[in-house]
Structure 1
């Protein structure tokens, strides 16, 4: 990339008819254009010049649907890969963390060398499920998480190679942040939010799927007031790690390098958002764009590539070797919150594989209204479901829905489109679902769980697919898998996702008055709220700055006339022979 040209200058949209950010090898070969190609083409003997066929893409191929990925974002995505992880690990020795001492304090050595960093990672349960299914041999999600720990932290993993033999100091489970996001999202829907802040417009739409957020910002900005302001688990984990370690270790956030392992390529775009940097929560007073809360995102597939690049067989890490020992986290209460559930989770399969946002809200409403009942109504396909909570007397208490996949999302946003006034005097309002005498059912919902991938996050674009050579080799498949094999594969990934030990103990939170709270789907809402409040108090940062984010309309410059007035005058003058 040219030193003159920065990613900030690239705000164009890449349309599928022009180009696509599918892997380069799938695109048709480009031809070198000569000077004559810049002039108007002349058709000779009735023969049309040959034009290369555009790449054929589908909704599944797109990172964020319908060509709404910009070239700037393509650059940002390319900068986040397993190669970037290895290059960063090899820049210099990691910071030395010594402690805790008798007072529980830590000492960080090596700060004088700016290339030295402290490496921290967080891993999603969907990625662990994908790797568990790939391993086979009845490997559970928890065991797959332990394999990732051995890779990132262990002596037999990344530390065995590289220039400095660096590894990660901590590897956390994003389920801790997910549980906090569930409580925050429920509070946003059922209460007034944190600090008395106003809630989004109804229906409130989930915002943890970056592909959906990207699509909304660039194609349907009228739905932005409906988006939940709660950060995604990836983003919340990044803020929690960097703000807490920065506070307790006395180092700046840019000395902490946070890697996230996610099931989706769009998470790379999320990590690049300006709203998800320390500029949104740190009191630096600097007019800078800030340090990312998540420095790099790699997908489940890239975990295998990461291991292979260092000559490590990832599947050999499923051994009985003891797990690498993690240094105690600088704050015991935050450590308990991050590590109490281990590398596993336990939730009902009815919650789905995308975090269970809607399911948690429905269960909390049911707990608040004894005797109430949850009724489900299937939509036009398996990825559209409506939910209604009714009281014992049959009164409707709450209505919600889930919409997965871009085809269904398009129907949802069409229903939410506001009415547009006709330019014809006396004409009726048109152009929306709110026609005279017609009321959109989407407007009746209080909440909608929206995810870009059909089937949920275990089917994310960054997951290991059944036609991957690794999977085909380990499953003994000689021909390209068909639809039945793909369906069976997804069911195996889902099975691994729900393979948590149901006997795991769930912390029962005891209030100051000695009362015990009944967990909702294995989660104690008051425990999560108390921990979040403690986090805000220890860092000295308002909680709303730590847990909420914002969105903005993104306008494409493609197809717009960028010619300045001076250029237009010059062009006009040249056409009339100068004249001045």
Structure 2
């Protein structure tokens, strides 16, 4: 999360507030009065997830506070997430791995089906993981000596799946059955996002559509600027989409409940831990009535790029000495052949273009899709007030502008964006004119000229995420021989190394010329084949028997709470102000 947001917009405490609403919500309707010195039933102890509890005689039961609770409340501690997300850590990974022997995949049987052994132990789980390309790039830059992002990915696979890594130690020698690349889910999100923006459906978000794959930005919008929520894209992020895909298909195909499947996501951002804890991203949506509720998370735990090094060190493993070659034994086939081809493609046909940025390329893909639908059109770029604000326009051969979009990275720029979207306020004076950030009728939202805006909390994009390995981390200072306090020059050079690893990560087997006219192949948009992606998604829906809308879309909600805040009416506020200036009634 941006330091600007942490300093200026949040009230940073490090423990739950005294006025937390959760104990009150769980009280009986008519609590008996305290007797014989017993504790007052209104006095509840607040306990964080995983924290030890006290059991004083006669005391009320502790109120268990989860991360989900605090995400739904901005009252007592608006940044309690910073405390609670620490519970999603490399220590949690090791604790779960040592909890019981892992479930083992058996098959395929002669009938082509798979089974799972070890279900008799209720504590055993099936371990799967997904890793982001930004994480591979960060670790590749940390390795140095020409290590590529692909080689860093193999090192991660050895850490999580081989005996040279986690499977060679611990209480049960547990490892992960599959490690999947979130790039496959990212391509699906690109196609879904473009369809959402360019469709004429009345159900699509309000214009301009705003990217929603950055959880720091989404959390900020829900708590500080709820009027922008109708603009947020409903498409899940690649992390969330991959979690839903793994939990739904494996639970259906292997006949095991989703809470026996433990999904770890490795991401460049601490805020991804917040995203994993959202009630909207649980099986209560896809296996229940479609409404958010307490359910099994699609992503059980998120660790960041730098936590990979901490995880290895905790088991006495030198990450940088792990093999850069492919695993001796290939990952087992996914239980469904069509989804196996989707998750583990035999060839790479898509290379991320530098113009797409380092955050997945949502905007870049939409621009390419618009250009494909208007043969002969060109994309024009105009830099804004700084490098993190850029305007784009797709101009037809006739000179007509057919599509306008923009990119806003970093909270300073985001604040300028949301200010433009803020509705005007009605004047309380009789006959007074509306006022606000724009001159328009009161209550009417702003209408920007953009059709789409890519919004990311971190300046520079996701390769500069808060969970990435930083130039001032001791491991980088030691490996690169940098001064104890690297300056801006070293910082800029380091970020350039990470970006270089990111953009050179996946060299396609078939070169894709980003400047070629996509009209030559209408089903090839920037190296991605939309019909192939849509076919895989439809197959997924058919296989699980779940509506595609439940699988790929999510929702957002305004977060409002008066917990711990003084209840002051407008009249009382006027009286207070009058008293301060010497007046009064």
Establish whether TM, by shorter chain, passes 0.5: yes
1:119 aligned to which of 127, 130, 143 = 127
1:552 alignment counterpart: 557
Q: 1:108: how far off?
A: 1.0
2:400 alignment counterpart: 395
Q: 1:420: how far off?
A: 1.2
CA distance in 1 between counterparts of 2:349 and 2:310 reads 23
Secondary structure, counterpart of 1:298 in structure 2: strand
2:388 alignment counterpart: 383
1:540 aligned to which of 529, 539, 545 = 545
CA distance in 2 between counterparts of 1:284 and 1:440 reads 32
1:19 alignment counterpart: 12
Q: 1:69: how far off?
A: 6.9
Query: Does residue 156 of the first structure (1) align with residue 164 of the second (2)?
Result: yes
Q: 1:533: how far off?
A: 0.7
1:460 alignment counterpart: 465
1:309 alignment counterpart: 314
CA distance in 2 between counterparts of 1:250 and 1:14 reads 48
Q: 1:74: how far off?
A: 3.5
* 1:125-148, Cα deviation, whole Å (9 max, x unpaired): 000000000000111111111100
1:415 aligned to which of 403, 420, 441 = 420
* 1:83-130, Cα deviation, whole Å (9 max, x unpaired): 000000000000121101111111111212110000000000000000
* 1:194-232, Cα deviation, whole Å (9 max, x unpaired): xx6600000000000000000000000000000000000
Superposition pairs for residues 512-527 of structure 1, below 5 Å? 518-527=523-532
Secondary structure, counterpart of 2:235 in structure 1: coil
1:484 alignment counterpart: 489
2:274 alignment counterpart: 269
Q: 1:450: how far off?
A: 0.2
Preserved contact between residue 344 and residue 500 of structure 1 (Cα < 8 Å): no
* 423-432 vs 240-249, greater mean Cα deviation: 423-432
Superposition pairs for residues 276-287 of structure 1, below 5 Å? 276-283=281-288
1:92 alignment counterpart: 100
* 1:367-409, Cα deviation, whole Å (9 max, x unpaired): 1101111111111000000011111111110010000000000
* 1:322-361, Cα deviation, whole Å (9 max, x unpaired): 4442111000100110110679961211000000000000
CA distance in 2 between counterparts of 1:90 and 1:197 reads 50
TM-score, normalization: structure 1? 0.81
Query: Does residue 445 of the first structure (1) align with residue 438 of the second (2)?
Result: no
Secondary structure, counterpart of 1:444 in structure 2: coil
Q: 1:555: how far off?
A: 1.3
CA distance in 1 between counterparts of 2:85 and 2:279 reads 15
1:356 alignment counterpart: 361
Secondary structure, counterpart of 1:400 in structure 2: strand
CA distance in 2 between counterparts of 1:191 and 1:285 reads 24
Q: 1:477: how far off?
A: 1.3
Superposition pairs for residues 333-348 of structure 1, below 5 Å? 333-340=338-345, 346-348=351-353
Query: Does residue 201 of the first structure (1) align with residue 206 of the second (2)?
Result: yes
* Distance change (3 Å), C-alpha of 1:390 and 1:471: same
CA distance in 2 between counterparts of 1:238 and 1:348 reads 26
1:76 alignment counterpart: 84
CA distance in 2 between counterparts of 1:440 and 1:155 reads 57
Query: Does residue 330 of the first structure (1) align with residue 345 of the second (2)?
Result: no
Query: Does residue 226 of the first structure (1) align with residue 234 of the second (2)?
Result: no
* Distance change (3 Å), C-alpha of 1:218 and 1:139: same
CA distance in 2 between counterparts of 1:287 and 1:452 reads 25
> Structure 2: where are the runs of 5+ without partners?
1-5, 16-70, 513-519, 569-585
> Structure 1: where are the runs of 5+ without partners?
1-12, 23-62, 508-514, 564-580
Preserved contact between residue 145 and residue 343 of structure 1 (Cα < 8 Å): no
* Distance change (3 Å), C-alpha of 1:332 and 1:186: same
CA distance in 2 between counterparts of 1:374 and 1:19 reads 43
Q: 1:281: how far off?
A: 0.6
CA distance in 1 between counterparts of 2:212 and 2:10 reads 28
CA distance in 2 between counterparts of 1:553 and 1:287 reads 14
Preserved contact between residue 146 and residue 343 of structure 1 (Cα < 8 Å): no
Secondary structure, counterpart of 1:489 in structure 2: helix
CA distance in 2 between counterparts of 1:463 and 1:68 reads 30
Secondary structure, counterpart of 1:554 in structure 2: coil
Q: 1:505: how far off?
A: 3.9
CA distance in 2 between counterparts of 1:164 and 1:183 reads 41
* Distance change (3 Å), C-alpha of 1:442 and 1:261: farther
CA distance in 1 between counterparts of 2:496 and 2:160 reads 28
2:578 alignment counterpart: none
Secondary structure, counterpart of 2:262 in structure 1: strand
* 356-365 vs 107-116, greater mean Cα deviation: 107-116
* 1:529-570, Cα deviation, whole Å (9 max, x unpaired): 11101110110000000000000001143552379xxxxxxx
* 1:253-299, Cα deviation, whole Å (9 max, x unpaired): 00000000000000000000000001111148999611000000000
2:433 alignment counterpart: 428
* 1:220-250, Cα deviation, whole Å (9 max, x unpaired): 0000000000000000000000001011001
1:215 alignment counterpart: 220
Secondary structure, counterpart of 2:195 in structure 1: helix
Query: Does residue 171 of the first structure (1) align with residue 179 of the second (2)?
Result: yes
1:135 aligned to which of 117, 138, 143 = 143
CA distance in 1 between counterparts of 2:130 and 2:375 reads 38
Secondary structure, counterpart of 2:448 in structure 1: helix
* 1:440-484, Cα deviation, whole Å (9 max, x unpaired): 996111000000000000000000000111111110113311001
